[in-house]
């Protein structure tokens, strides 16, 4: 199937890295690594994450953090830039992972730190395959922009784990610092000397004038309003409302002569969301996805309509099901096209495409659609199809926008509001969802392969932001809405309604 819940395949925010180990004097050992991403926002969040092979402290050794504790340093390598901060990670907050404890690494939980009960770092992992940290709150005193690279040093006993984030700059201004794909360095980073100061020449600015769009809009961060943002998990007979906290990034390019600009949306981060009685919902970025557009002078046709059907007929291959889906969507009207399809019981993607399957393990590089239906038994040979109607609706105000955002959603059953510390028990296939500031509707027919059941229709309304205001970096009040459809999940067929409101 396209978009189903599976097992044991976690999409966590990760940073790929390559380890380099070397001695420092006679007492210390440093391990440097290559980073994929980092994010810093003053008084809000500082986090990074990584996956590769690490040499971890032996249980009971002088470097064991459950014995000696640890410190986490983050700093601008150029003095006078974003500054520096050191987080104390007391031994009381650490526990060993694996059996025996510590054989797979260590995990720090700020909530268990008896020496620092208000610890800023919620969680830190030091594992044989991963190093990561998430620190939040006023103690995150780093003040972007950075003048140089970001240095990170996790020290435990005589061992230091180090990264220096150069790499590709995604953001470096007063609203935050974000980079990815940084090379490993030969040595641990240090703070250097102040850079020469100068007085910049600033061009005069003017107050944005409605109806006078800027030449370029730029990339800006949207902090989600947790009181008004929502993820609605709508099943056949019930719905569950979740309140996400996190950040998304909205980027629009040059505005052309007609007042249009190409726009993209990307999820930066989202906190673990408690799902009562089940565990934590973890939402991470995936993609890449297609771009959208903003109409700086106003336009029409910004509504979306997502129409899913669990059973549009029988199939024996993914290609055959895709052809059926194309025809099915075309029958809904010229505005509709196939967004995704799956022939259940046959491998989708990978080397075993179209081979009969009963579980994901039989489809290396892909997955097995319909392998875990929760209701009505197996649906082998059933073709499910999702259609998307675009360009619908009447006139929209200036600043209306569409975009796509890739997400990967998992559920971890430990319920500790920390994502990535446990293999997920529920996994949704990554999906690119269409978002709009106008109106989005969704319906799923033949829910759970039952001719008499459906989910929806659901309707969500967004809110635009003028191009003039958005170009200044102000996303406040903008709301993007959309729907994702999933078949044969461990919870049954469902629609996820996204309402992402910028505070």
pLDDT, one tens digit per residue, over 375-398 is 445 678 999 999 999 999 999 999
212-231 exposure pattern, b = at least 16 Cβ within 10 A, e = fewer: ebbeebebbbbbbbeeebbb
Cα 402 from Cα 303, distance rounded (Å): 9
Split at pLDDT 50, 70, 90, the class of 122 is confident
Tokens of 253: 């390019």
Mean pLDDT of 265-273: 89
pLDDT band at 211 (very low <50, low <70, confident <90, very high): low
- How confident is the model over 453-457, as a mean pLDDT? 93
Lowest mean per-residue pLDDT among 3-17, 35-49, 178-192, 402-416: 3-17
**Alpha carbon distance 1, 310 (integer Å):** 10
Dihedral sign (CA 264, 424, 358, 4): negative
The answer to whether 373 and 450 have CB atoms below 8 angstroms apart is no
Alpha-helical runs (H) found in 81-181: none
Q: How far apart are CA 81 and CA 426, in angstroms?
A: 43
Nearest to 399 by CA among 265, 268, 302, 497: 302
Lowest mean pLDDT among 151-155, 203-207, 276-280, 440-444: 203-207
Are 71 and 86 within 8 A, CB to CB?
yes
Q: Is 472 exposed, middle or buried (CB count within 10 Å of its CB: 0-12, 13-18, 19+)?
A: middle
Whole-number average pLDDT of the chain: 85
81-85, 189-193, 480-484: least confident range? 189-193
Residue 209, pLDDT above cutoff 60: no
Alpha-carbon span 114 to 386, nearest angstrom:
51
C-alpha distances in angstroms, 262 versus 211, 221, 250?
A: 18, 17, 11
Dist. CA 414–CA 97, nearest whole Å = 15
Report whether pLDDT(198) > 70. no
Using 50, 70 and 90 to split pLDDT, how confident is the model at 19?
A: very low
Q: Which residue has the higher pLDDT, 344 or 419?
A: 344
CB 390 within 8 A of CB 335: yes
229 pLDDT band (50/70/90 cuts)? very high
The stretch 120-148 carries a mean pLDDT of 89
Cis peptide before 472 (omega within 30 of 0): no
If one counts every other C-beta atom within 10 angstroms of the C-beta of residue 257, the result is: 5
| pLDDT tens digits along 46-71 | 988 786 678 999 999 999 999 999 99
Residue 349 in 3-state DSSP?
coil
pLDDT value of position 14 = 25
- Give all strands (DSSP E) within 271-376, no chain letters: 273-275, 279-286, 292-295, 299-300, 303-309, 336-343
Instruction: Quote the distance between the C-alpha of residue 125 and its chain's center.
Output: 19
Q: How confident is the model at residue 339 (pLDDT cuts 50, 70, 90)?
A: very high
At residue 168 the predicted structure's pLDDT band, cuts being 50, 70 and 90, is: confident
pTM given for the model: 0.65
At residue 196, the pLDDT reads: 40
| Bond before 145 cis per omega within 30 degrees | yes
Question: b or e along 264-300 (b: 16 or more beta carbons within 10 Å of the residue's beta carbon)?
Answer: bbbbbbbbbbebeebbbbbbbbbbebebbebbbeebe
Cα-based distances in Å from 88 to 3, 95, 107, 116, 155: 42, 16, 14, 8, 10
Q: Given pLDDT bands bounded at 50, 70 and 90, which one contains residue 319?
A: very high
């Amino acid at each position: 199937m396209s978009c189903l819940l599976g097992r044991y395949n976690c999409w966590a925010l990760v940073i790929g890295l390559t380890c380099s180990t070397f001695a420092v004097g006679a007492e210390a050992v440093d391990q440097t690594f290559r980073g994929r991403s980092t994010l810093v926002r003053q008084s809000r969040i500082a986090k990074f994450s990584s996956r590769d092979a690490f040499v971890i402290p032996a249980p009971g050794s002088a470097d064991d953090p459950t014995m000696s504790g640890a410190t986490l340093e983050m700093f601008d390598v150029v003095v006078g830039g974003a500054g520096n901060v050191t987080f104390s990670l007391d031994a009381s907050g650490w526990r060993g992972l694996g059996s025996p404890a510590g054989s797979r690494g260590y995990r720090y939980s700020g909530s268990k730190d008896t020496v620092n009960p208000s610890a800023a770092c919620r969680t830190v992992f030091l594992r044989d395959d991963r190093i990561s940290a998430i620190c939040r709150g006023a103690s995150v005193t780093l003040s972007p922009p950075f003048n140089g690279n970001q240095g990170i040093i996790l020290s435990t006993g005589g061992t230091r784990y180090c990264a220096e984030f150069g790499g590709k700059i995604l953001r470096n201004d007063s609203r935050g610092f974000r980079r990815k794909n940084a090379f490993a360095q030969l040595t641990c980073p240090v703070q250097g000397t102040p850079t020469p100061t100068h007085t910049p020449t600033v061009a005069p600015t003017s107050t944005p004038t409605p109806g006078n769009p800027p030449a370029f809009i730029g990339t800006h961060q949207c902090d989600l309003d947790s009181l008004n943002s929502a993820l609605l998990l709508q099943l056949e007979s019930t719905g569950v409302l979740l309140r996400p906290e996190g950040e998304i990034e909205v980027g629009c390019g040059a505005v052309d002569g007609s007042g249009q600009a190409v726009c993209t949306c990307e999820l930066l981060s989202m906190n673990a969301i408690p799902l009562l009685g089940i565990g934590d919902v973890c939402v991470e970025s995936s993609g890449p996805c297609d771009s959208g557009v903003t109409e700086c002078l106003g336009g029409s046709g910004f509504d979306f309509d997502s129409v899913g059907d669990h059973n549009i007929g029988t199939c024996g291959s993914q290609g055959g099901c895709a052809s059926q889906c194309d025809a099915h969507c075309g029958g809904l009207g010229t505005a509709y096209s196939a967004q995704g399809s799956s022939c259940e019981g046959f491998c989708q993607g990978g080397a075993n495409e179209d081979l009969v399957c009963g579980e994901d393990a039989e489809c290396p590089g892909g997955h097995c659609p319909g392998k875990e239906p929760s209701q009505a038994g197996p649906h082998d040979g059933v073709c499910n199809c999702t259609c998307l109607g675009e360009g619908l609706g009447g006139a929209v105000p200036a600043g209306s926008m569409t975009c796509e955002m890739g997400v990967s959603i998992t559920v971890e059953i430990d319920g500790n509001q920390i994502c990535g510390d446990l293999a997920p028990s529920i996994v949704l296939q990554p999906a690119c969802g269409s978002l709009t500031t106008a109106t989005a509707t969704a319906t799923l027919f033949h829910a759970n392969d039952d001719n008499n059941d459906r989910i929806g229709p659901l309707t969500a309304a967004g809110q635009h932001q003028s191009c003039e205001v958005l170009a200044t970096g102000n996303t406040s009040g903008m709301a993007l809405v959309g729907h994702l459809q999933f078949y044969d999940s461990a919870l049954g067929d469902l629609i996820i309604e996204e309402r992402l409101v910028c505070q």
